[in-house]
Structure 1
């Protein structure tokens, strides 16, 4: 079942005996477990009704034994078993001996007083495995994958509404861009902004600039966006800000090269009619990052992008060999890019 269906069933008090919440969007996995806990377990029963295991340390047969044990002083219990790597294509480290036949047997006749949740932080399970096929047949798989660009924008608006926060023009895209589209960061920043402006207040682009914490990678991402839009004053202000923060110019060049390579790859894959989700999967990126890179790449043809990547490689060599002042080299590159 998909994520929305699973959450709807939980809200209706319809609990499956086993779930596998998997995906790289850890915030959705956390929200899924929180909703399940809130709907299943009374607050006063939490200490006796909820158990957590790390499958890197505990064999799955021990988890099944707990699931089959009658609950103590509570009507039902919730068991959460993390790091279920045996459902993926990754190699078994051999640290823990998982007797997967016990899980297969349990799936055939699960008890009615336990809900068992497996979690694993991968976007794809190994569907060649008999166990994964069995879980799929039981409709136990709940993908917690990165949202599409459109879903992400809608999610930001819903989250802001919950916080009674008004969003000014362009703020939704700005928030997503500044946080890299990660839900955990978005939720934290929206809450922080709401506390700053108060209930019913409005978040403006200027406020986002001053409040939202950005990584060096995100700042470089934004810097390139300013250059593409020919907003050179903003681009140089961002560069100055990065240098004041003692960021190494060579690191900035490396991140620029990475972004332009992404733009080149996205442009090539888009020509082959790949969707944003497919490109994100191919390149290991967030779908929103693909959307932005695609927009940035429209300003250049493939030949120009290839030339820029080559120029950045040359600049990197000159910086490391002392052939050019690092800051001057960066500034000249940005001016040449805008020209």
Structure 2
């Protein structure tokens, strides 16, 4: 990808390629991954999450790992949700790293148990949809994102 970008810059630019030249062609590019999308949605930032999702898909991200990132984070939240004790104690009980417990506890802020359950069910449905049970994996991902960003609330 880097080599392709360099070749494109050389083809489109006359003379010296400067920092300003690179910024002109690549300054607005957003790098993202499945976890950034899931993090934004879990935090309730629907617009940001949707923008990141669309950008990720437009730049070649596969829907299956996107759903897996959501599912992993939601599962961890569910595991940690009913626990008591320090991050280290809970981590050893659940087979997680202490930072995962701390992160899941932060992520759970504003979530209710029923909403988390609905989000987990939505992730399972989306997983099936992107693996062939549905015709539009992008729609399935956007639906999952909406459910998660609204913290599983019924509308």
User: TM-score if structure 2 supplies the norm length?
Assistant: 0.66
Equivalent runs, 1:47-126 vs 2, <5 Å: none
Task: Say if 2:45 is the partner of 1:221.
Answer: no
Residue equivalent to 1:230: 44
CA distance in 2, matches of 1:301, 1:239: 25
Residue aligned with 1:291, SS: helix
Task: Say if 2:75 is the partner of 1:249.
Answer: no
Q: Is 220-229 or 247-256 further displaced after alignment?
A: 220-229
Residue equivalent to 1:296: 107
Distance 1:277 1:245, change over 3 A: farther
Residue equivalent to 1:169: none
> Deviation per CA, 1:240-296, whole angstroms, max 9, x where unpaired?
232234221012112211110100101122xxx221112222333332222121111
CA distance in 2, matches of 1:324, 1:246: 18
Residue equivalent to 1:266: 80
In proportion to residue count, which structure has more strand? 1
Distance 1:225 1:319, change over 3 A: closer
Residues paired across the two proteins, number: 122
> Pairwise CA RMSD of aligned residues?
2.5
In proportion to residue count, which structure has more helix? 2
Q: Is the 8 A contact 1:266 1:293 kept in 2?
A: yes
> Deviation per CA, 1:162-203, whole angstroms, max 9, x where unpaired?
xxxxxxxxxxxxxxxxxxxxxxxxxxxxxxxxxxxxxxxxxx
CA distance in 1, matches of 2:120, 2:37: 16
Q: Is the 8 A contact 2:90 2:101 kept in 1?
A: yes
Superposition deviation, residue 230 in structure 1: 2.8
CA distance in 2, matches of 1:243, 1:249: 7
What 5-or-longer segments of structure 2 have no aligned partner?
1-29, 151-155
CA distance in 2, matches of 1:283, 1:241: 34
Distance 1:228 1:255, change over 3 A: closer
Residue equivalent to 1:321: 132
RCO higher in structure (CA 8 A, sep ≥6) = 2
CA distance in 1, matches of 2:35, 2:97: 13
Superposition deviation, residue 335 in structure 1: 1.9
Q: Is the 8 A contact 1:228 1:299 kept in 2?
A: no
What 5-or-longer segments of structure 1 have no aligned partner?
1-209
Show structure 1 runs of 4+ deviating over 6 A. none
Superposition deviation, residue 333 in structure 1: 1.8
CA distance in 2, matches of 1:336, 1:324: 19
Distance 1:222 1:293, change over 3 A: farther
CA distance in 2, matches of 1:320, 1:302: 27
User: TM-score if structure 1 supplies the norm length?
Assistant: 0.33
